[in-house]
Structure 1
Amino acid sequence: MAERKKALGRGIDALFQDFNGETTHDQETVETLALSELRPNPYQPRRDFDETALQELTASIKKSGVFQPIIVRKSIQGYEIIAGERRFRASKLAGKTTIPAIIRDVSEDEMMEIAVLENLQREDLTPIEEALAYETLIKKLNLTQTEVSNRLGKSRPYIANYLRLLTLPEATKRLLQAKQLSMGQARTLLGLKNKAQIDALARRTIKESLTVRQLEKIVNALNEEKASKQVIKKPVKSTFIRATEQHLADKFNTKVTLAEQKDGKGKIEIGYLSTEDLNRILDILNVSLD
């Protein structure tokens, strides 16, 4: 297992050389399995498959069959697909009942990592799918972001930026998944301090075809507006209180502040600059510490 984990960072071919259908491990054979016996990889990060590409593959399989075997592992009931779900789906659409497959003995952890790596190397996952893939590795394998980045050959900030997308509101995540929003636009939306504004601004971004730069200006303006509203205004003191403060300041020759409370009570604060200054004020008040 340790040797295989080292190979993961170098790519899927370093772990399973026959993913491209070129070679097989010793004593492995290609078998014909019924499509009804197969189930998709439960750790498959891809949520959506490109319909055009799937239809093209379906047409090819109808005409020529499946040239590249899929890779599966035996499960309690039938088989789970390790790699080749597109070929599996296209074969069903083509009306096939069987498919060539290589049966591989793979652990749960390896199957999870393979599913992520195979799809990442295709580079057509949506940002949400990629983020969910990283989250799966972290949660299921108890890995840190740094460990995931080392294992997949990605930087830790790269992993962190994708994971942040999962904190977006559900409606905005659906827009990102549907490729109506870009990764850059989504990351900019995350900068909004008032998270309740994200969905509305995401819809506006699509409607007005806002660029990332334009969106950044809007986010900054909204954040400044929120900050100005949060500034606590000091209560305006009455004329009597201000006059009293000035009278006491003149008497003690120092700053005096009166703080009013809602119940009519309050407090007086008399400032002093040193011990000698304090003693001077105490003399004025005729207060003795003897």
Structure 2
Amino acid sequence: MKKKKIGDCLSQIEINDIAPNDYNTNVMPPSAYRRLVEDMRENGPSAIDQILLRKAGEELRKVGKRFEIIDGFNRWKVANELAWKTIPAEVRDVSLEEAKVINYRKNSERGTIDPFREAELFKSEIDAGRTHEEVAKRYGIDRSQISYRLSLLKISGRARRLIDVTRVTPSQLEVIAKVARSADQELLAKEVRDRGLGVRKLELRAARMHRLRPIRAERLKDCELKMLVDMVANVYAACEDCKARGSCPDLMAELKKYRKKK
């Protein structure tokens, strides 16, 4: 194809010469994606900014790809769906490490980061031998954010599949990640998905799970059971969820087991 080169820029690149990257942290809600499709269908290439590319690495070149996306995956994906032959693009002469930072910062500016992909990105940096402080400085974020995001990797795959990352906050995910049992993580994920529980209510639910899961009522004396009931009643007196449902369902299940043993 005939290319117009201005410095490191190529005005048009063939769609089939481009491959997505494996470090993209972007997430786009379905409604926004549909709007992008309609805009690009109606207005053509003039509807979008140039996507950012870099020259493909050896592995991609082996499968016939000449460029790798730095930023603009969804625009490239829509162009594919609309059967465009080419797409406006700028090719930058940057390394893989530089491309990761550009991608992350572009997505941060738009506020469209998938927390799980963000966690995987930071883990890859840590695995490469960088400290939390070095990663934080590299991506222009607070050091504590590295630890918070890495904690999300504790969430099981089944729980992740219940989570719509476009409708939850990282703070909600951090609460789920603190729960040890994968089954409990799934229950909390469902609570967020189906009932939209906020951070405070999630914390109360997680704390109740933490206190009750290790307890087996049949092993307790009557006086210990009374203390348990009083403790739960006091700790969760302010929990609107418990007030609405009445007695704590987890505790009641354990007490039923105890009564059967008597």
How far, CA to CA, are the matches of 2:199 and 2:182 in structure 1?
A: 18
Aligned to 1:147: 134
The one of 165, 173, 180 aligned to 2:152: 165
Listed one character per residue, the Cα deviations across residues 97-132 of structure 1 (whole Å, up to 9, x for unaligned) are: 112222222212222222222222221123222222
Listed one character per residue, the Cα deviations across residues 262-287 of structure 1 (whole Å, up to 9, x for unaligned) are: xxxxxxxxxxxxxxxxxxxxxxxxxx
Aligned-residue sequence identity (percent) comes to 24
5+ residue gaps, structure 2, are 221-262
Which one-letter code corresponds to 2:104 in the other structure?
V
Aligned to 1:33: 13
Tell me, yes or no, if structure 1 residue 224 matches structure 2 residue 201.
Answer: no
Query: Shift of residue 192 of structure 1?
Result: 2.9
The one of 68, 71, 90 aligned to 2:52: 71
User: Is this contact kept in 2: 1:128–1:177, CA < 8 A?
Assistant: no
Do the aligned partners of residues 41 and 224 (structure 1) sit closer, same or farther apart at CA in structure 2, a change above 3 Å counting? closer
TM-align CA RMSD: 3.0
How far, CA to CA, are the matches of 1:68 and 1:30 in structure 2?
A: 13
Tell me, yes or no, if structure 1 residue 92 matches structure 2 residue 80.
Answer: yes
How far, CA to CA, are the matches of 1:54 and 1:194 in structure 2?
A: 35
Greater shift, 220-229 or 32-41, is seen at 220-229
How far, CA to CA, are the matches of 2:201 and 2:12 in structure 1?
A: 55
How far, CA to CA, are the matches of 2:194 and 2:29 in structure 1?
A: 24
SS in 1 for 2:163: helix
Query: Shift of residue 164 of structure 1?
Result: 0.3
Which one-letter code corresponds to 2:45 in the other structure?
G
Q: TM-score when scaled to structure 1?
A: 0.60
How far, CA to CA, are the matches of 1:222 and 1:58 in structure 2?
A: 44
Listed one character per residue, the Cα deviations across residues 60-91 of structure 1 (whole Å, up to 9, x for unaligned) are: 33324245322222222321122222221222
The one of 111, 115, 120 aligned to 2:108: 120
5+ residue gaps, structure 1, are 1-24, 234-290
Greater shift, 49-58 or 101-110, is seen at 49-58
How far, CA to CA, are the matches of 2:136 and 2:107 in structure 1?
A: 16
Aligned to 2:257: none
Greater shift, 52-61 or 145-154, is seen at 52-61
How far, CA to CA, are the matches of 2:175 and 2:214 in structure 1?
A: 18
Listed one character per residue, the Cα deviations across residues 18-42 of structure 1 (whole Å, up to 9, x for unaligned) are: xxxxxxx973443322111111123
Q: How many residues are paired up?
A: 207
Bigger helix share:
2
User: Is this contact kept in 1: 2:11–2:89, CA < 8 A?
Assistant: yes
Which one-letter code corresponds to 1:43 in the other structure?
Y
The one of 38, 41, 44 aligned to 2:24: 44
Aligned to 1:270: none
Which one-letter code corresponds to 1:72 in the other structure?
L
Aligned to 1:275: none
**Higher-Rg member (1/2):** 1
How far, CA to CA, are the matches of 1:29 and 1:192 in structure 2?
A: 49
Tell me, yes or no, if structure 1 residue 136 matches structure 2 residue 124.
Answer: yes
User: Is this contact kept in 2: 1:127–1:176, CA < 8 A?
Assistant: no
Q: TM-score when scaled to structure 2?
A: 0.66
1:1-290 aligned within 5 A: 27-46=7-26, 48-62=27-41, 63-66=43-46, 68-75=49-56, 76=61, 77=64, 78-139=66-127, 141-179=128-166, 181-226=168-213, 228-229=215-216
